[in-house]
């Protein structure tokens, strides 16, 4: 390769520019240019080819164009280069034309002799400029542009099988969406990206990398892709009914926050939600343990009163429409009769403040005890009552912080049975007992369901730090870099809540990590079948169901995860059903075959016009091929993903009909499949193991 650049350029020349506009360059291909394979570019390479690259020398640099289409024009005579032979009669001749999309410029670095690719064209060529084939080195520079390409994920067939490598900081740092039809290779790509990244990091570090991947796996495919005894990529598998080497999936109900509880129990906004919130706050503060003495008990009671009055004030009950004020009046009566007998137990300031409270309750009630009373309260009356109550609360040692700090969402341990009691007590206090029956029923059903109990756990078998160590990973990822959370056997009623809880706990743990350490703990959260868990929802529904709450968690992660080192990888076959918020926060896309119109439209809108070339190939991509575009890739590149040996592939869930029909698999191994219905029937009808969790 000692050719002078110009000489070489001349030998690689394949055509002439004959039309130029800012977004389109047309080239007439020389007659002597290769027909199907170019041999002059340092190795055989298909040419011309849609989505292939061509260069046009402009000034000091090379303009890079991508072939959008090719066509043949019948020309009256061949436009041969050089002198035309005047004596010859030229016959009509098929003339090849192609259209190029300008993508960017390639500049040679004088010192290293390498090329640097940059997006955007500084200058456009003029008509008559030459179009040349890129050399191997140039092609590589286009595909491999960008820095810190550390992990090889595949090769680019359009660029002479140049390696396609990515920078993990870019790939995982700003969320990645893997989209494509069923069977197009998404799961393999996701498993591969994790494996190749970990392997490469392992080589660079010379030991287990300090990496964390949490895979939420609704189909139960990934446990196979990361075998437990795999020496390179160690994984922990969490599952309902764990097999050998796997662990039981635990998402204790005391992890659930108030939104998750409300969505699961479908608590009504008016009465049930405030009651449930209050009950949760109480159990999380350990209020179900008996108070130490009478004064302590009174402090709690007064605290509840303060909270309760504030809630009423906020929802406007006391001056709302009938019957709200009447029910508020009934509450006051109840509080008063509750307090009166206690007066005698206290002395001094405590007695005085309590007496003042009873008096002011009485003052509010007396005028409303008459027949045909007017129940409306004024804002001043309620404010006055609140002040008196707060005073009494302080007299018993309560502080404002007591009331404000009670975090309804903190994952503090409580038992299911305590929550039930707490809801009953709160309902009593709020005088809404008859309105919370359905709420209690749902909570009771949850606690007694034998399918859910193993997951929601009870007792002290799970601690918060233990859970975080297991599910997110330990110091230096000693227990393995990947945790696979198999959701396939989680009952459908709770699968959304469980997923939301795991995702949120991961996010909040990392958020707190940053708060306490000032640095992030980079973690990747993978969500398979994202269209069921991150599904677009209607914003106006008042009662938010579990799917909505789940989607909102992921929206929050998509918006804020980056700040806390949490990267999202989502995989879906129905991109058009995904939450637009989440999708718009994904900065990198790995697109597999997509044949559906709506989904294609959607992905087309992700990229500017001139970069859409490779996306046109989406409907016809073979599995294992994909287009990588966005933040992690300077240009959309069409790539063939690395080969993943079948033992490392996620289990595809296609049932083996033929093999079972004919009694042997493709390799000739016999397949037997007995029905064994009696065993199934027994299992189905078996009485619940153990009694329901104590609902005393």
Ligand X SMILES: Nc1ncnc2c1ncn2[C@@H]1O[C@H](COP(=O)(O)OP(=O)(O)O)[C@@H](O)[C@H]1O
Q: Which residues make up the interface to ligand X (CB under 6 A)?
A: 180, 182-188, 192, 623-624, 641, 643-644, 649-650, 652
184 sits near Mg ion (criterion: CB under 5 A): no
Q: In the bound complex, which residue of the shown chain has the CB atom lying closest to Mg ion?
A: 187
Q: Which of residues 341-380 bind Mg ion (CB under 5 A)?
A: none
**CA dist., res. 491 & res. 452, Å (int):** 7
Q: Which helix (H) or strand (E) holds 510?
A: helix 492-517
Binder of residue 96, out of ligand X, Mg ion, none (CB less than 5 to 8 A by kind): none
Which member of 51, 105, 156, 187 binds Mg ion (CB under 5 A)? 187
**CA dist., res. 53 & res. 103, Å (int):** 9
Binder of residue 188, out of ligand X, Mg ion, none (CB less than 5 to 8 A by kind): ligand X
Task: From residue 613, give the alpha-carbon distance in Å to each of 24, 156, 237.
Answer: 12, 15, 41
Q: Minimum CB separation from ligand X for residue 150, in Å? A: 19
Closest Cα to residue 284, out of 98, 419, 83, 94?
A: 419
Closest Cα to residue 572, out of 513, 516, 526, 541?
A: 526
Radius of gyration of the chain (CA): 34
Closest Cα to residue 501, out of 264, 187, 225?
A: 264
Q: Minimum CB separation from Mg ion for residue 187, in Å? A: 3
Closest to ligand X by CB, 193 or 629: 193
Binder of residue 106, out of Mg ion, ligand X, none (CB less than 5 to 8 A by kind): none
Closest to Mg ion by CB, 327 or 649: 649
With contacts defined by CB under 5 A, name the span among 10-18, 66-74, 187-195, 256-264 that binds Mg ion.
187-195
Q: Which residues contact 538 (CB under 8 A, 6 or more apart)?
A: none
Binder of residue 624, out of Mg ion, ligand X, none (CB less than 5 to 8 A by kind): ligand X
With contacts defined by CB under 5 A, name the span among 184-192, 207-215, 260-268, 304-312 that binds Mg ion.
184-192
What are the strands, taking DSSP E only, across 194-246? Answer: 213-217, 235-239
Closest to ligand X by CB, 332 or 530: 530
**CA dist., res. 409 & res. 260, Å (int):** 10
Q: How many CB atoms lie within 10 A of CB 260?
A: 23
Helical pair 437-448 and 258-265, crossing angle rounded to 10 deg: 100
Closest to Mg ion by CB, 62 or 525: 525
- As a residue count, the chain comes to 696
Binder of residue 184, out of ligand X, Mg ion, none (CB less than 5 to 8 A by kind): ligand X
Closest to ligand X by CB, 461 or 643: 643
**CA dist., res. 8 & res. 524, Å (int):** 47
Binder of residue 649, out of ligand X, Mg ion, none (CB less than 5 to 8 A by kind): ligand X
Closest to Mg ion by CB, 58 or 191: 191
Report CA torsion sign: 343, 346, 349, 350.
negative
According to DSSP, residue 35 is labeled S
Q: Minimum CB separation from Mg ion for residue 531, in Å? A: 12
Q: Minimum CB separation from ligand X for residue 486, in Å? A: 16
**CA dist., res. 244 & res. 327, Å (int):** 57
Q: How many CB atoms lie within 10 A of CB 387?
A: 11
Q: Minimum CB separation from Mg ion for residue 186, in Å? A: 5
Binder of residue 623, out of Mg ion, ligand X, none (CB less than 5 to 8 A by kind): ligand X
According to DSSP, residue 535 is labeled B
**CA dist., res. 464 & res. 359, Å (int):** 46
Q: Minimum CB separation from ligand X for residue 154, in Å? A: 8
Q: Minimum CB separation from Mg ion for residue 306, in Å? A: 53
Q: Which of residues 624-653 bind Mg ion (CB under 5 A)?
A: none
Collapse the DSSP code of 124 into the 3-class scheme (helix H, G, I; strand E, B; otherwise coil) and give the result: coil
Closest to ligand X by CB, 141 or 624: 624
Closest to Mg ion by CB, 187 or 625: 187
**CA dist., res. 419 & res. 37, Å (int):** 73
Binder of residue 438, out of Mg ion, ligand X, none (CB less than 5 to 8 A by kind): none
Please count the residues of this chain forming the interface with Mg ion, following the rule CB under 5 A: 1
Q: Minimum CB separation from ligand X for residue 624, in Å? A: 4
Dihedral, CA of residue 579, residue 582, residue 583 and residue 585, to nearest 10: 160
**CA dist., res. 438 & res. 266, Å (int):** 9
Report CA torsion sign: 603, 607, 609, 612.
negative
Helical pair 294-315 and 324-339, crossing angle rounded to 10 deg: 170
With contacts defined by CB under 5 A, name the span among 121-129, 180-188, 298-306, 612-620 that binds Mg ion.
180-188
Closest to Mg ion by CB, 182 or 204: 182
Closest to ligand X by CB, 465 or 654: 654
Q: Minimum CB separation from Mg ion for residue 594, in Å? A: 14
Q: Minimum CB separation from Mg ion for residue 627, in Å? A: 18
Q: Minimum CB separation from Mg ion for residue 241, in Å? A: 22
Q: Minimum CB separation from ligand X for residue 649, in Å? A: 6
Closest to ligand X by CB, 135 or 648: 648
With contacts defined by CB under 5 A, name the span among 47-55, 125-133, 185-193, 334-342 that binds Mg ion.
185-193
Closest to ligand X by CB, 68 or 529: 529
**CA dist., res. 308 & res. 456, Å (int):** 30
Contact assessment for residue 322 and residue 315, using Cβ atoms and an 8 Å cutoff? no
- For Mg ion, the binding residues (CB under 5 A) are 187
């Amino acid at each position: 390769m000692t050719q002078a650049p110009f000489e070489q350029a001349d030998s690689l020349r394949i055509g002439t520019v004959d039309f130029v506009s800012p977004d389109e360059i047309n080239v007439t291909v020389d007659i002597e240019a290769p027909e199907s394979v170019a041999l002059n570019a340092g190795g055989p390479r298909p040419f011309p080819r849609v989505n292939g690259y061509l260069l046009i020398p402009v000034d000091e640099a090379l303009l890079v164009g991508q072939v959008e289409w090719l066509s043949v024009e019948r020309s009256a005579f061949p436009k041969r280069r050089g002198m035309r032979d005047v004596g010859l009669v030229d016959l009509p001749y098929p003339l090849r034309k192609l259209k190029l999309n300008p993508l960017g410029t390639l500049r040679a670095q004088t010192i290293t002799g390498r090329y640097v690719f940059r997006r955007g064209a500084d200058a456009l060529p003029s008509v008559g400029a030459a179009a040349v084939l890129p050399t191997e080195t140039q092609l590589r520079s286009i595909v491999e542009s960008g820095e810190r390409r550390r992990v090889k994920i595949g090769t680019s067939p359009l660029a002479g099988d140049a390696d396609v490598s990515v920078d993990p900081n870019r790939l995982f740092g700003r969320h990645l969406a893997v989209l494509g039809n069923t069977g197009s290779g998404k799961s393999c790509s996701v498993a591969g990206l994790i494996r190749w990244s970990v392997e490469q990091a392992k080589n660079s570090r010379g030991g287990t990398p300090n990496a964390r991947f949490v895979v939420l796996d609704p189909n139960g495919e990934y446990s196979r892709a990361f075998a437990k005894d795999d020496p390179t990529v160690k994984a922990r598998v969490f599952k309902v009914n764990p097999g050998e080497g796997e662990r039981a999936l635990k998402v204790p109900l005391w992890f659930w926050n108030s939104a998750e509880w409300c969505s699961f129990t479908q608590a009504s906004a008016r009465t049930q939600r405030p009651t449930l919130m209050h009950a949760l706050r109480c159990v999380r503060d350990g209020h179900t343990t008996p108070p130490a003495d009478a004064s302590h008990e009174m402090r709690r009671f007064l605290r509840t009163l303060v909270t309760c009055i504030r809630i009423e004030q906020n929802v406007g009950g006391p001056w709302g429409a009938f019957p709200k004020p009447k029910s508020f009046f009934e509450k006051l009566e109840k509080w008063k009769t509750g307090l009166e007998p206690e007066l005698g137990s206290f002395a001094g300031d405590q007695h005085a403040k309590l007496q003042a409270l009873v008096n002011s309750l009485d003052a509010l009630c007396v005028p409303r005890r008459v027949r045909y009373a007017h129940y409306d309260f004024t804002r001043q009356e309620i404010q006055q009552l609140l002040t008196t109550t707060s005073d009494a609360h302080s007299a018993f040692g309560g502080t404002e912080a007591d009331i404000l700090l009670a975090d309804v969402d903190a994952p503090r341990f409580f038992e299911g049975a305590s929550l039930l009691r707490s809801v009953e007590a709160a309902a009593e206090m709020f005088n809404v007992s008859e309105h919370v029956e359905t709420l209690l029923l749902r909570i009771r059903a949850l606690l007694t369901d034998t399918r859910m109990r193993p997951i929601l756990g009870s007792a002290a078998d799970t601690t918060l730090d233990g859970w975080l160590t297991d599910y997110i990973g330990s110091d230096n990822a000693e227990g393995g870099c990947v945790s696979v959370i198999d959701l396939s056997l989680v009952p459908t009623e709770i699968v959304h809540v469980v997923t939301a809880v795991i995702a949120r706990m991961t996010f909040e743990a990392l958020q707190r990590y940053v708060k306490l350490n000032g640095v992030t703990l980079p973690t990747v959260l993978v969500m398979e079948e994202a269209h069921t868990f991150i599904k677009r929802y209607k914003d106006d529904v008042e009662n938010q169901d579990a799917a909505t709450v789940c989607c909102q968690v992921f929206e929050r992660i998509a918006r804020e995860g980056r700040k806390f080192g949490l990267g999202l990888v989502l995989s879906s076959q129905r991109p058009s059903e995904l939450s637009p918020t989440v999708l718009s926060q994904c900065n990198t896309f790995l697109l597999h075959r997509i044949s559906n119109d709506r989904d294609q439209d959607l992905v087309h809108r992700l990229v500017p016009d001139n970069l859409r070339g490779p996306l046109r190939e989406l409907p016809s991509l073979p599995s294992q091929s994909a287009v990588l575009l966005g933040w992690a890739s300077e240009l959309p590149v069409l790539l063939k993903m690395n080969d993943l040996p079948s033992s490392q592939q996620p289990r595809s869930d296609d049932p083996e009909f033929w093999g079972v029909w004919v009694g042997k698999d493709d390799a000739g191994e016999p397949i037997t499949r007995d029905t064994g219905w009696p065993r199934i029937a027994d299992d189905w009808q078996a009485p619940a193991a153990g009694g329901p969790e104590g609902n005393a």
